[in-house]
């Protein structure tokens, strides 16, 4: 279970990007986060895996308080959090297998990684996952020779090689054509069920969010203002998520403080 309590992220002396945010995700649910640019969606995901340091608040994953971890303990906790990136974040000159095995870097020695001497069990698992997502035949192909959809499938397998307890996806379909986007969203949904894995997806495409996820969280200016099943996301909710203004949000801050 992921439990976020009273999370705040502030850069410098400006207004907080995340404002006392609470969110709980359990089981194998697929949860999408929607909202306009600047709502805080990507910052939220990056606070969870500590790519961005929270200003205050609590982020707990299966009983481990992530915000208090440092050094070796933080690195160990990050192994449990898989991340799929919008820009794929692959090493183009490496093969698909080598990119996939980078998901195991936290588990093998530096020498083994440099020499590319991967454990047999890791190779077996990589082929199993690549076969599942349809890229096993590209195992020895350089990453820069793949299409966008194929590259994103490599990113998904790399994240799953960590044996994560939760999978985060930051705009995983933004760089893809509509058909490939639907394939990737369907893949994430199916893998969540097969692997009993909670998935949290930051996404701009509301249609895909409604079709492929179990729950939608709507954010506006650092706050969650909608949290319900896709069927409940009506026009009124959409207007609240996408038609608000920073000025109105500051007024809400003042009312809460008074």
Q: Is the pLDDT of residue 92 over 50?
A: yes
Question: How much is the average pLDDT of 70-96?
Answer: 92
Element (H, E) at 84: strand 81-84
Q: pTM above 0.85?
A: yes
**What band does 244 get if pLDDT is binned at 50, 70 and 90?**
low
**Which percentage of the chain shows pLDDT scores above 70?**
94
- The separation between the first and the last C-alpha atoms of the chain, rounded to the nearest angstrom, is 34
Residues 6 or more apart whose Cβ sits within 8 Å of residue 5: 22, 57, 58, 59, 60
Structurally, at CATH architecture level, domain 28-38+73-257 sits in 3-Layer(aba) Sandwich (3.40)
**SS3 call for 50:** coil
Residues 6 or more apart whose Cβ sits within 8 Å of residue 228: 215, 216, 237
Torsion angles phi and psi, residue 255, rounded to 5: -65, -40
Element (H, E) at 170: strand 166-170
Question: How much is the average pLDDT of 88-105?
Answer: 93
Sign of the torsion formed by the C-alpha atoms of 50, 65, 166 and 21: negative
* Residue of 84, 64, 63 whose CA lies nearest to 76: 64
How many C-beta atoms surround the C-beta of residue 42 within 10 A? Answer: 18
pLDDT digits (tens, 9 = 90+) for 15-36: 899 999 999 998 889 999 999 9
Measured between alpha carbons, how far is 169 from 86 in angstroms, rounded to an integer? 8
Question: How much is the average pLDDT of 110-119?
Answer: 78
Q: Could you state, in order of their start, the residue ranges of all structural domains in the chain? A: 28-38+73-257
Give how far the C-alpha of residue 77 lies from the chain's centroid of Cα atoms, to the nearest Å.
15
Q: Is the pLDDT of residue 114 over 90?
A: no
Residue with tokens 């205050």: 56
- Position 148 scores a pLDDT of 95
């Amino acid at each position: 279970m992921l439990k976020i309590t009273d999370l705040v992220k502030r850069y410098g002396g400006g207004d907080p990007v995340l404002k006392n945010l609470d969110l709980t995700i359990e089981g194998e649910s697929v949860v999408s986060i929607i909202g306009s640019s600047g709502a805080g969606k990507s910052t939220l995901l990056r606070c969870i895996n500590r790519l961005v340091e929270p200003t205050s608040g609590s982020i707990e994953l299966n009983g481990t308080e992530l915000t208090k971890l440092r050094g070796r303990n933080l690195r160990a906790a990050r192994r449990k959090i898989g991340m799929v990136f919008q820009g794929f974040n692959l090493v183009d000159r490496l093969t698909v297998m080598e990119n996939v095995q980078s998901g195991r870097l936290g588990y093998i020695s530096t020498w083994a990684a440099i020499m590319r001497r991967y454990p047999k069990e890791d190779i077996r698992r990589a082929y199993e996952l690549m076969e599942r997502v349809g890229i096993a035949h590209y195992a020895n192909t350089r990453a820069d020779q793949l299409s966008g959809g194929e590259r994103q499938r490599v990113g998904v397998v790399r994240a799953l090689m960590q044996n994560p307890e939760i999978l985060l996806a930051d705009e995983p379909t933004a760089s893809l054509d509509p058909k490939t986007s639907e394939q990737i969203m369907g893949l994430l949904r199916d893998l969540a069920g097969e692997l009993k894995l909670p998935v949290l997806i930051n996404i701009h495409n509301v249609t895909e969010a409604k079709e492929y996820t179990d729950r939608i969280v709507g954010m506006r200016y650092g706050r969650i203002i909608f949290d319900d099943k896709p069927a409940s996301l009506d026009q009124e909710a959409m207007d609240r998520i996408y038609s608000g203004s920073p000025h109105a949000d500051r007024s809400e801050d003042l009312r809460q403080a008074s």
